[in-house]
Amino acid sequence: MPSITEPKLISGNANLPLAKAIARRMSIHRGVSTGLVDARIERFNDGEIFVEVFENVRGEDMFIIQSTSNPANDNLMELLIMSDALRRSSAARITAVIPYFGYARQDRRTKARTPISAKLVANMLVEAGIERVLTLDLHAAQIQGFFDIPVDNLYASPIFALDIKAHFAGRMNDLMVISPDVGGVARARELAKRINAPLAIVDKRREKPGEIAEMTVIGDVTGKTCLIVDDICDTAGTLCKAAEVLIENGASEVHSYITHGVLSGPAVERITKSVMKSLVITDSIEAPDAVKAAPNIRIVPTAPMFAQAILNIWNGTSVSSLFETETLDPIYEGTFKL
């Protein structure tokens, strides 16, 4: 049954452009003007974060839009403190919309005496008063089980499928989806099924973190236009090396579709100089000027999907319907036309 309260959006500093785009999209979907709740987020001289909300939120259905991207600790603290401020202001429900969930790569103990930081972050979010989480392409699906509250994990593959069908029209039979490691096969297979393309794997072996000893292509990529699919691109070392190995094994072109463009350190320079024709990322993390200026990096929007997901949560209707291309197609109508 639809709620009688209005959905209200509030944003931290992590990705204001995305938050404003979501608000615009919600206004279009509803035909009612939706803006961001007026608030200020300040830092004291010692770096402490202070939040003040200027609008009445008592009894309201609140959605905090905040990626926990770089600087991860500052953005995470902003999210926690905003939630505490809203809870103490008697908000009816607080949903954290976290397009990029930081610390997700620390989802298990890989060695003795190491933390499971993703679980710690989950505990902190719940303790701060958050009652629901909406995120995009979690690094590990089992992180949903770290929470004792509902977690809606959206997928970028339907958006990528729409982009691929627009940009590779007439060449769909030449496409092959590539998983850059064995662990990402399920994600790559999902996109391959959506575009009806075959699947191959680049098997990598590491001597130690950050260094790749050997890469082997499992599958025949000769003459294929290869699409590498992954959830996170950080320094881009593995991605660029995989592209080189694919070309060496006979691929005609290599493109990459990565959900979260962390792109730290030398990543942009590596991608610009690599054999990849294009890297497509989402706007889950606000892109710096260097990324926007890179000639072979494109950014696809997630605001239409997040806006609809927020409205579905507010209305109490299905979020999983957004996993289907048929559902997203009208939401993204005109976005991917060449």
Which token pair is 271? 């991608």
Q: Is 223 annotated as a binding residue?
A: no
Do 302 and 325 form a contact (C-beta atoms < 8 A)? no
Tokens 């005609």 belong to residue? 252
Do 245 and 215 form a contact (C-beta atoms < 8 A)? yes
Q: Is 206 annotated as a binding residue?
A: yes
What is the pairing mode between strands 93-98 and 132-136? parallel
Q: Alpha-carbon distance 37 to 128, whole Å?
A: 19
- The set of catalytic residues is 204
Q: Is 105 annotated as a binding residue?
A: yes
Distances (CA, A) of 197 to 41, 119, 143, 189, 270: 47, 36, 29, 9, 28
Reference 306, options 95, 52, 46, 51; nearest CA is 95
Q: Is 189 annotated as a binding residue?
A: no
Q: Is 302 annotated as a binding residue?
A: no
Distances (CA, A) of 300 to 86, 227, 280: 31, 16, 7
Q: Is 108 annotated as a binding residue?
A: no
Q: Is 48 annotated as a binding residue?
A: yes
Q: Is 230 annotated as a binding residue?
A: yes
Strand ranges, E, within the chain: 7-11, 39-43, 49-53, 61-65, 93-98, 132-136, 151-154, 175-179, 199-208, 211-218, 225-233, 253-261, 278-282, 297-300
Q: Is 238 annotated as a binding residue?
A: yes
Q: Is 181 annotated as a binding residue?
A: yes
Q: Is 278 exposed, middle or buried (0-12, 13-18, 19+ CB in 10 A)?
A: middle
Q: Is 235 annotated as a binding residue?
A: yes
Which token pair is 279? 């890297």
DSSP-assigned beta bridge partners for residue 225: 175, 253
Which token pair is 53? 């909300």
Q: Is 139 annotated as a binding residue?
A: yes
Q: Alpha-carbon distance 334 to 168, whole Å?
A: 16
Distances (CA, A) of 164 to 8, 157, 194, 228: 34, 10, 10, 12
Q: Residues at the annotated binding site for D-ribose 5-phosphate? A: 206, 230, 234-238
Q: Residues at the annotated binding site for ATP? A: 46-48, 105-106
Q: Residues at the annotated binding site? A: 46-48, 105-106, 139, 181, 206, 230, 234-238
Q: Residues at the annotated binding site for Mg(2+)? A: 139, 181
